[in-house]
Structure 1
């Protein structure tokens, strides 16, 4: 299956991003199921990513087989991340993939460490992961070019995360969907005093 490891945004955050996009990028609309025939030599129109699909990728895995899938589940069990918060307060246009995105101006250290661990675990499972620097973001618009007007104002939307997931990516008549196939919790780090209080000693 084609999949990725990532973070699912809370429902309230998805709705807040959608509200921001409607106000800050009024030119961008979600695609309708009725497709109009494209005119020759007409550039593709920017398309809003469906609100339900908003997420933050930690590691794109691509197509994996059953053996890799089983190994991946085992390796991800060893990832030790802790809950964190982030604020989506910047936007950017990436010309290569032609996307407009929202991102945290200062990514939390726990997020960056989680992404590092996830990529390492994926490689240990025999899955190829690119070595490009990790840049956490939420894709809001696809087929975006420099002709798309800049957002009227920047977002300021926060979210809390307490787990990460294995998502499948597949297409059907309704478009692209990202169902969650497996989840792992992020466990808070406790002080020595708290561990002793709860009887969680290593002895």
Structure 2
């Protein structure tokens, strides 16, 4: 699955109607010169691992399979932009406890696999576009609720001319 130095991350991957609503947000707000994320690449990162040597992969797969977090509903109720990094994003107004529990379990597991989690505050968001104009934070009205029932391990930096990310493995959340 992973080759030498492959860039990996754990994420939530939306399905319709959430993915369709995210694409509609892109079309509405990601004006030129913004670079919209490919519709198949829209995701919410849980933990970015960076370049991972192949010998770490078995531990990562075992660790992820052992995580016990209940399914939850994610409400993407805000849209805005950050200057650094220069991105247009959609995210929740507040981080649901099960989401934070999942992120913390992954970060703990990364340490157990000999990897170092990112050392910054977790800000759950879906990147809609890069290098766009500033957008004041706004409330999203009528955005579909996202029933989160699984998380994935994905790789970035693919050579495809379409999407950049590839889902390598999925795990269901415990109900």
TM-score range with shorter-chain normalisation? 0.7 to 0.9
> Could you tell me the TM-score, scaled by structure 1's length?
0.76
Is 1:100 the equivalent of 2:105?
no
* CA contact 2:12–2:148 (8 Å) conserved in 1: yes
Find the counterpart in structure 2 of residue 129 from structure 1. Answer: 117
Residues of 1 paired with 2:35 and 2:50: CA distance? 23
- Please, what is the CA RMSD of the aligned residues? 2.0
* CA contact 2:81–2:137 (8 Å) conserved in 1: no
Is 1:8 the equivalent of 2:28?
no
Per the alignment, do residues 17 and 73 of structure 1 end up closer, same or farther by CA in structure 2, a change over 3 Å counting? same
- Structure 1 residue runs without a partner (length 5+): 29-44, 189-203
1:11 offset after TM fit, Å?
A: 2.6
Residues of 1 paired with 2:122 and 2:155: CA distance? 20
Residues of 2 paired with 1:151 and 1:131: CA distance? 25
Find the counterpart in structure 1 of residue 31 from structure 2. Answer: 27
* CA contact 1:168–1:180 (8 Å) conserved in 2: yes
Alignment of 1:24-173 (within 5 A): 25=29, 27-28=31-32, 45-146=33-134, 150=136, 154=140, 156-173=143-160
| 1:88-130 deviation line (CA, Å, top 9, x unaligned) | 1112211111111000112211111101101111121112211
Is 1:17 the equivalent of 2:22?
yes
Larger Cα-atom Rg: 1
Per the alignment, do residues 177 and 88 of structure 1 end up closer, same or farther by CA in structure 2, a change over 3 Å counting? same
Aligned residues: 169
Partner of 2:66, secondary structure, is: coil
| 1:16-63 deviation line (CA, Å, top 9, x unaligned) | 11123323x1624xxxxxxxxxxxxxxxx2111111111010000011
Residues of 2 paired with 1:13 and 1:55: CA distance? 10
* CA contact 1:101–1:141 (8 Å) conserved in 2: yes
More RCO (CA 8 Å, sep 6+): 2
Residues of 2 paired with 1:50 and 1:168: CA distance? 15
Q: Which 4+ runs in 1 deviate beyond 4 A?
A: 149-153
Find the counterpart in structure 2 of residue 184 from structure 1. Answer: 171
